[in-house]
Every structure is written in C-alpha cells, then in structure tokens.
Chains A and B, each alone.
Chain A
Amino acid sequence: MANKIEVRDFSFFYDDFQALHGLNVPIKQHQITALIGPSGCGKSTFLRCLNRMNDTIKNTRAEGEVLLDGKNIYDLDVDVTELRQRVGMVFQRPNPFPQSIYDNVAFGPRVLGMDKNEPLDEIVRQSLMGSGMWDEVRHRLKDSALELNPGQQQRLCIARAIAVKPEVILMDEPCSALDPVATLHVEELMRQLASEYTIVVVTHNMQQAARASHWTGFFWLGRLVEFSETGTLFSSPQDGLTEAYITGRRG
C-alpha cells in the first residue's frame, strides 16, 4: 500500500522546547490513521506540521522531512497555500464562518479560483453531499451556518474542507465537542471519505480510534512509541507504555 505521506526523522521546536523527537510515520493512502496519546504528547502539534499550520506560530522550527507524494513540504520552493489546498484540516471545535451555509462551503473554492473551471453551485452541492448533509440543508443554503446544531456545524466544516478538493484531510479531535450521536455520524462520514481521501485523525477517544481507523500511532512525550494496524495495536501492543495507556493504567 502506497504511502501518501512519509515523515522522516521529523522534529519540531517551540523556541527551545522540543515538542517532537525524530518521528518516522508512514501515512497510507486512502486509509484512516489515528493518532492517540495523552494531552500534551505532541499529536496535535504533529498534525499541524502536516499542512504547516504551525508556520503561523512565531519562533517555531522544524527539522527533518515530511514527504507528500515524495516531495518534502518543508522545501523552500513549496507554496504553502497550495500545500494547504492539498492537505485540508478540520478543527476540534466546529468553527463555521458567521456566514451562510453556502458561503462557508464556497469560500475555499472562491479564493482558489476554482469557480472558473466548475460552477460554484455544483462544487457546493457535491461538497455537502460528500459530508452527508445535502438533504438536510439544500433548502436553507442561505441561512446562517451558526443556526445549525454542533454536529451539523462540524459536518459543514468537513464539507468546507473537501470543497477545495484536498488529497489529505487532517482532523484534530473532530468529535470532542459533539454528543455521542453526532460523534457516530462523523465517524461514519470519515469511513466514507476514506475511499477518496487520506485521513489523519487525532483523538483522545480510544474507542474512536479502535472503531474508525485502519492504522494507529501512539504518542508519548513527543515520541512515537508504537505504530501499527489498529487491530494489532489494540489487541497485542508491543510496548509496555502503549499497553498501559490503552488499558487505562497510564494517561
């Protein structure tokens, strides 16, 4: 199975603090990779390195390589706006713009000029279908996105992310602000999306990692302790730390 992203000897620093230590992570194409670990272990930092969102934080520094289709995204000739179009992101809290449902989805295609090649209405429709909410909102596209419930808002954010036709979607604890029903809804959506997109999801919820992902990486203090197929990692962890964490004895 091809690696969509290949992380090699990757370290990341906030000023003098080293948040990530020499990581090597393979992200398989069209699979869901879950990253688990206790708070502050660096998994969200790592996720934000995959589309260089950490660039917006001052005094940070990256070492090593993140190869996207074989090309290091930290190379100087990389256009970060193009990178972020290819590697989209869904955030922890549903964060729609205070605009209409339509404008939320259309924002990315508009700024990227995608509406020159394809009618915007069509992009919006397909994106909302992709996030499984077209039938819920097709008659209220002009309504404010803030009128949706949190679960719907998060799926709208997913629609907004896929509207720019990314190859990879990064999800940073996408369900932590949602109730159990909305959470299952989003997990179901992730599985559907995996046929078209490569998904990396950070989660606190080990049941979610076990339910929804194909691969799981366990982070501890900025290091990747263990990485393997999800079934293997949860049934027979190789490392004592992993076992302690997933059985709830450390965390």
Chain B
Amino acid sequence: MTRQQVQKVAVGSITAVAIVAVLPIVVIIGFILVQGIGAINLTFLTSAPSNGMRDGGILPAILGTLILTLGTAIVCIPIAVAAAIYLAEYAGDTRLTRWVRLAIVNLAGIPSIVYGLFGLGVFVLFLGFGTSILAGSLTLGIMTLPVVISTAEEAILAVPQRFRVVSLSLGATRWQTIWHQVLPHALPGIITGIILGLGRAAGETAPILFTVAAFYLPDLPSSIFDQTMALPYHLYAISTQVPDMPLSIQYGTALVLLMIVLSLTLVAALFRTRMRRRRTW
C-alpha cells in the first residue's frame, strides 16, 4: 500500500469505529422514543397511577425525581464547591491531602448500591430520618460529591495563574483573590460539573431503593420526612413487580426519565459551549 492508501484506510477505520461508538446511543434513544411516545399524553404526565399502576400517569414519580434532584443539589453543591476550592487553592501536597484525594477517587468508584446501603444504615436507621426525602437526598448528594468535586477542582485549576498573581500583588488576600478573580472564571466549569452530576443522580435507582423510594404513593409528599415515588425506581417496580403491565407505560416512563436526564446533560453542554465562546483568554 502507498502512504496515501494507508492514510485512507486509517481515516476510514477510525471513522467507522466512531460511528459504532455512537450507534448504541442513537438506537437506544430511538427505540425508547418509538416505543414510548404513544404513552405520553397530558393525563400520563399529570395524574397518579391507578388500577395497580396499570393505568393512569406517573406525576408523583416525576415530581419525586425533581424534588430528589433539588435535594441532591442542596446537599452536594456547597460541600463539593468548598472541597474543590480547598483542594485546588489551599491544600498543598501533604499526607493529609493525599489521603483526601485518594478518598475522593475511591468514592467515585463505589457502586451505587453501596451508597444505598450506606444511606439506609446511616441516615434512615442510625440518624432516624426514616425512609424519607431527606435520607434519599443526603445519599444521592454524597454519591454525587466526587464527580462534582473533581470537575470543580479542574475548573478552578484551569484559571490562569497570572490572575491570582496580579490580584495578590495588588494587596488582595488569598480569599479575595479566589472570590473575585478565580471563582468567576471557574464558574462555568463548576456549573457544568454540577449539572452532569445531578443528571446522573436523577437517573439512579440503587441509592434511593432503601432510603426514599415508595412503591406506590399517589399523594404528593408534604415534608422532607415523607417518602416519595421516583422515576428510576418506579420504572424498576413496574418492569419487575407488576404482572400484566402494559409495555407502553413502561416505555413511556423510560422515555420521561430519559428526557429529564438528557435535557440536564444538554443544558450542561449548551452552557459550556456558550461560556467557552464568551471566554476571552
């Protein structure tokens, strides 16, 4: 083969591999869209399940997932951002910070069912929150921490060093430097990480299995100590626990969940592109 032929073969094969990589996503989304779109209508989105969940809608599960995502954000964001600032700006390379970093890497690798059991043990039983939105949000929040900490730390480290140096040279304290000259530039990256983390939390089943999710609870929750239905668990329940479940409702539920998670990811992607374009350094 000539060099030019090798070039053509190489480009051809990596293009093919790239297409193969994208194909499953397109197929899965397409399949669920085709199967589920028929179930989606106003009643499905705005009413509670009925007739042993074989009829009616999934409103309590949708709202439950939104509430849990909000709860996750409230638990996760302050801790993750503070930890990222500490790691990026203050923590040197000491024995303690090496342990902290190791712990964060390991947290990211823990299976989500282990978070679920941890939440059951600590929040539901030991702290006595019961099976509740509070316990579920704390569990999901902790599960989301590592990914948000890592992306936020990267965003902070990506801010050019010269901004810090100039700020310090003008007599600003380290905190003023971080607050006025580092965080504003790191914010787009931090927010992107938060949204992606929340998108993952919204779709998780295992962490909410023992900590918050209700099998069937048509009434909407009234306090953070109530249980709630949630889309991922609802999908699991109707797919495995309910005999003679119409397929269209299962796919409809999957489609709604997919849309919520995808739209979060999409918002993150659009936001990042927009901010990158506006960035001038």
Q: Which of B182-221 contact A (CB under 8 A)?
A: 185
Binding-face segment, A22-30, A83-91, A115-123: A83-91
Is the CB of A144 closer than 8 A to any CB of chain B? yes
Q: Which 3 A-B pairs have the closest CB atoms?
A: A85-B171, A108-B170, A89-B169
Q: A residues touching B (Cβ–Cβ < 8 Å)?
A: 51, 53, 56, 58, 81-82, 84-85, 88-89, 91, 93, 95, 97-98, 107-108, 110-112, 144, 146, 157, 160-161, 164
Q: Which of B84-98 contact A (CB under 8 A)?
A: 92
Pair A81/B173 contact, Cβ less than 8 Å: yes
Q: Which of B164, B171, B185 has a CB less than 8 Å from the CB of A111?
A: B171
A-B contact pairs, 20 of them (CB 8 A): A53-B165, A81-B171, A81-B172, A84-B168, A84-B170, A95-B166, A98-B279, A107-B167, A107-B172, A107-B180, A108-B172, A111-B167, A111-B170, A111-B171, A111-B176, A111-B180, A112-B171, A144-B280, A161-B169, A164-B170
Q: Which of A91, A107, A108, A111 has a CB less than 8 Å from the CB of B165?
A: A91
Range class of the B interface residue count: 20 to 34
Known contacts A53-B165, A91-B166, A97-B166: A108-B171 contact under CB 8 Å: yes
The docked-state distance in angstroms from the alpha carbon of A111 to that of B180 is 9
Give the chain B neighbours of A53 by CB distance below 8 A: 165, 168-169
Report the minimum CB–CB distance from A57 to chain B (whole Å): 10
The docked-state distance in angstroms from the alpha carbon of A111 to that of B172 is 6
The docked-state distance in angstroms from the alpha carbon of A144 to that of B281 is 12
Known A95-B163, A97-B181; 9 more pairs at CB < 8 Å: A53-B165, A53-B168, A53-B169, A56-B164, A81-B171, A82-B171, A91-B165, A98-B280, A108-B172
Q: Which of A81, A108, A110, A146 has a CB less than 8 Å from the CB of B280?
A: A146
